[in-house]
A and B are shown apart, each in its own frame.
Chain A
Amino acid sequence: MCPRSRLVTSLVLTAIFASGAVAQTERPTDEWVSNPVDDRTFETYLEFFAYDSSVPLAVHVTASDVVDGLREERLTFQSTPGMTVTARTFRPESSTSRGGIVFMHGGTGNGKDTRNVVNWTRLLARAGWTVLSIDLQYFGERNNGLFETFGAQEKADRLYNVPSLYLDWMIQTAKDAGRAFDVLAEHLQIDPDDIALVGYSRGAQMSMVAGAVESRFAAVALLHGGHFDGLEHGHRPAACGANYIGRINPRPVLMINGEADTDYLPAVAVRPLQKLLGPESTVRWTDASHGILTEEDLSVLIDWLRIEVSP
């Protein structure tokens, strides 16, 4: 390489690193990433996440089929009074699962029916678990018009950066996760000691909170989640994952994140959260960008789940 080319290359690399540094450090953050709320405040939060377990689940199976050895059902259940959750179950047709998984999708318009989410939940079911994959409120079959395009900016403007609405949504989602647990345990006869929560992207952000609030989940896997995504700039402490993730401990947590994630930036949105994890946690970094789970990642997830919750 001639000196001139070397200089240009060097300048380009410097510029890339510099822009990367700017992007990684100039994103909004908040005080709770370094100083989560104390235990008493957390206990106060828990009051608002409690739900009425006497409300009938009213499970209604709307479709059932066997696909490649899996029993797949579409169903609805009542989470809180008047709030219906749309969901899908995937389970082995030829055997009975002992353990189960509640799966929460990322921020895509199709929710639980997003192609990669369906592929992953099927994979988990083939590994032996009964998987209950739910639509988050406003997504998938629960789309009520809050979003029209499901573009990142629209979601940020209408939900993620509207602190009170986001907190309401967070509370509802945590309750939905708890009620999904109830569906697995009561309706599908899954051992309540062997139910894990798996969240992907936005679903991982919600799972940090739901996993801490709902201590019946034996293990929590957070796939490509973080603190703030690329467009978020603020939330209330009660909706901040940093105030919850450490409180999943002593239950085990698996975090899988990509070094090239441009949505949840590793330096400002992921690593600070990982520092809050308890000692029972497992962190896996890959060189992937946001949302890309390789076969190896999925193998790691399955192996980890097998240790924590019997399939």
Chain B
Amino acid sequence: MKRALMQAVTVLAIAATAQAQDRPTDEWLTHPVDRATFNAYLEFYTYSESIPFATTVGETRSDEGVRTEHLTFQSTPGMRVTALLYHPSGIDITTAPAVVFLHGGGGRGKDFGGYVRLNQFLARAGITVFAIDMLHYGERADGLFTNFGEIEKHERLYNDNARYLEWMQQTVKDVGRAFDFLVAERGVDASRIGLVGSSRGAVVATIAGAADQRLGAVVLLHGGHFDFFEDGHRAAACPANYIGRINPRPLFILSAENDQDFLPETSIRPMHRLAGNQATVRWTPQGHGSFTDDDRAALAEWIRGKLP
């Protein structure tokens, strides 16, 4: 009786899992666009380097070995990016590796506590982190979202194909301009700058990392193809059409076996298969967005190794 009950529970669990995995997908996950199409995409991610940064520097503080500056800079004409620059106190910033950091889809953007702690950790490990707010998030909230709930974000952005592609273009440009800022305004070595994205930021980083070939290494934390509420996007905004183009530059992917947002079978493993032979994949037993101390340590070690 007990064994029969256990079997029934197991069947139900498997059935539920199968249903959960029966998620929308698209053709590019198995057949990414060809090189010519990818090259056509690249035209739309270019920006004018001659636009002045018009930098503003706000509060600067030092805390437990990390110096943090609040900054804004002009990315594209009239478009200002808000950012936090973390770097290890007492270390010449021009001698340290650096990463641009893209947050997940939380309303606080770069200021979400989990990201602040992660970025402080990386800074203490000797890595400069330039965490930027993506358009519509954090200090760049412009009213598109009112509660930053999943339904709202998907209805107003992620599942709105035209707007999502526009947002993707702008964010990729913002990443490129953040790269430029680190080099031009802070003297960071251009050959030692990488990109880290988490959750939604990882989806964007997949595209930015492929589009901006200057980035020396790319890290995708708990990203994937579609999250649970997504149902479609344009080919040009599909990370499956980009992830393989990060190769041969090094790529680190941290994925969670119990991710209920980006489902492993339908949204993560198919992306891994496209990642190329330079990718390092780390699976953890956590759920979406949860980092252990080991994860953080592995991340810092990998970045230092790839951006020596």
Q: How far is the CA of A65 from the CA of B152 in the complex (A)?
A: 42
List residues 89-106 of chain B with CB under 8 A from any CB of chain A: none
Q: Check B48 for interface membership: any CB of A closer than 8 A.
A: yes
Given contacts A47-B234, A48-B236, A50-B165, contact A162 B50 (CB under 8 A): yes
Whether A50 pairs with B161 at a CB distance below 8 angstroms is yes
Q: Which residues of B contact A82 (CB under 8 A)?
A: 142
Whether A44 pairs with B37 at a CB distance below 8 angstroms is yes
Q: How far is the CA of A164 from the CA of B211 in the complex (A)?
A: 14
Partner of A45 from B40, B48, B235 at Cβ < 8 Å: B40
Q: Check A304 for interface membership: any CB of B closer than 8 A.
A: no
Q: Which residues of A contact B161 (CB under 8 A)?
A: 50, 52
Q: In the assembled complex, how far is the CB of residue B242 from the closest CB belonging to chain A, in whole angstroms?
A: 14
Q: Check A292 for interface membership: any CB of B closer than 8 A.
A: no
Partner of A48 from B37, B160, B163, B169 at Cβ < 8 Å: B169
Q: Check B44 for interface membership: any CB of A closer than 8 A.
A: yes
Tally of B interface residues using CB under 8 Å: 25
Look across to chain B and name the residue whose beta carbon is closest to the beta carbon of A82. Answer: B142
Q: Which residues of A contact B166 (CB under 8 A)?
A: 80
Partner of B165 from A37, A47, A168, A236 at Cβ < 8 Å: A47
Q: In the assembled complex, how far is the CB of residue B35 from the closest CB belonging to chain A, in whole angstroms?
A: 12
Q: Which residues of A contact B236 (CB under 8 A)?
A: 44, 47-48
Q: In the assembled complex, how far is the CB of residue B197 from the closest CB belonging to chain A, in whole angstroms?
A: 22
Given contacts A50-B234, A164-B48, A165-B48, contact A237 B43 (CB under 8 A): yes
Look across to chain B and name the residue whose beta carbon is closest to the beta carbon of A163. Answer: B46
Whether B165 pairs with A54 at a CB distance below 8 angstroms is no
Q: Which residues of A contact B78 (CB under 8 A)?
A: 144
Q: In the assembled complex, how far is the CB of residue A45 from the closest CB belonging to chain B, in whole angstroms?
A: 7
Q: Check B76 for interface membership: any CB of A closer than 8 A.
A: yes
Q: Which residues of B contact A50 (CB under 8 A)?
A: 161-162, 165, 234
Look across to chain B and name the residue whose beta carbon is closest to the beta carbon of A175. Answer: B162
Given contacts A41-B36, A52-B163, contact A236 B43 (CB under 8 A): yes
Look across to chain B and name the residue whose beta carbon is closest to the beta carbon of A53. Answer: B162
Q: Check A51 for interface membership: any CB of B closer than 8 A.
A: yes
Q: Which residues of B contact A48 (CB under 8 A)?
A: 44, 165, 169, 236
Q: Which residues of A contact B115 (CB under 8 A)?
A: none
Tally of A interface residues using CB under 8 Å: 27
Q: Check B77 for interface membership: any CB of A closer than 8 A.
A: yes
Q: Which residues of B contact A171 (CB under 8 A)?
A: 44
Q: How far is the CA of A171 from the CA of B163 in the complex (A)?
A: 13
Look across to chain A and name the residue whose beta carbon is closest to the beta carbon of B143. Answer: A82
Q: Check A7 for interface membership: any CB of B closer than 8 A.
A: no
Q: Which residues of A contact B37 (CB under 8 A)?
A: 40-41, 44
Given contacts A41-B40, A81-B163, contact A47 B46 (CB under 8 A): no
Q: Which residues of A contact B160 (CB under 8 A)?
A: 52, 54
Q: Check A136 for interface membership: any CB of B closer than 8 A.
A: no
Q: How far is the CA of A237 from the CA of B39 in the complex (A)?
A: 11
Given contacts A48-B236, A50-B165, A50-B234, contact A167 B142 (CB under 8 A): no
List residues 146-183 of chain A with CB under 8 A from any CB of chain B: 146, 162-165, 167-168, 171
Q: Which residues of A contact B181 (CB under 8 A)?
A: none
Q: In the assembled complex, how far is the CB of residue A209 from the closest CB belonging to chain B, in whole angstroms?
A: 13
Q: Check B47 for interface membership: any CB of A closer than 8 A.
A: yes
Whether A236 pairs with B46 at a CB distance below 8 angstroms is yes
Whether A146 pairs with B77 at a CB distance below 8 angstroms is yes
Q: In the assembled complex, how far is the CB of residue B90 from the closest CB belonging to chain A, in whole angstroms?
A: 39
Q: In the assembled complex, how far is the CB of residue B48 from the closest CB belonging to chain A, in whole angstroms?
A: 5
Q: Which residues of A contact B50 (CB under 8 A)?
A: 162
One digit per residue, 1 when the CB lies within 8 angstroms of any chain B CB and 0 when it does not, for chain A 31-56 equals 00000010011001101101110110
Best-buried of B44, B46, B144, B169 by chain A (most CB within 10 Å): B44
Q: How far is the CA of A45 from the CA of B37 in the complex (A)?
A: 9
Look across to chain A and name the residue whose beta carbon is closest to the beta carbon of B234. Answer: A47
Q: Check B302 for interface membership: any CB of A closer than 8 A.
A: no
Q: Check A238 for interface membership: any CB of B closer than 8 A.
A: yes
Q: In the assembled complex, how far is the CB of residue A201 from the closest CB belonging to chain B, in whole angstroms?
A: 23
13 contacts between A and B (CB under 8 A): A41-B37, A48-B165, A50-B165, A52-B160, A52-B163, A54-B160, A55-B163, A81-B144, A162-B48, A163-B46, A164-B47, A165-B76, A171-B44
B residues with a Cβ closer than 8 A to A are 36-37, 40-41, 43-44, 46-48, 50, 76-78, 142, 144, 160-163, 165-166, 169, 234-236
A residues with a Cβ closer than 8 A to B are 37, 40-41, 44-45, 47-48, 50-52, 54-55, 80-82, 144, 146, 162-165, 167-168, 171, 236-238
Extra contacts, 19 of them, besides A54-B160, A163-B46 (Cβ < 8 A), are A37-B40, A40-B36, A44-B41, A44-B236, A47-B165, A47-B234, A47-B235, A48-B44, A50-B161, A50-B234, A80-B166, A81-B144, A144-B78, A164-B46, A165-B77, A167-B44, A171-B44, A236-B43, A238-B44
Closest 10 CB pairs of A and B: A164-B46, A44-B40, A50-B162, A52-B162, A47-B236, A238-B43, A48-B44, A47-B234, A52-B163, A165-B48
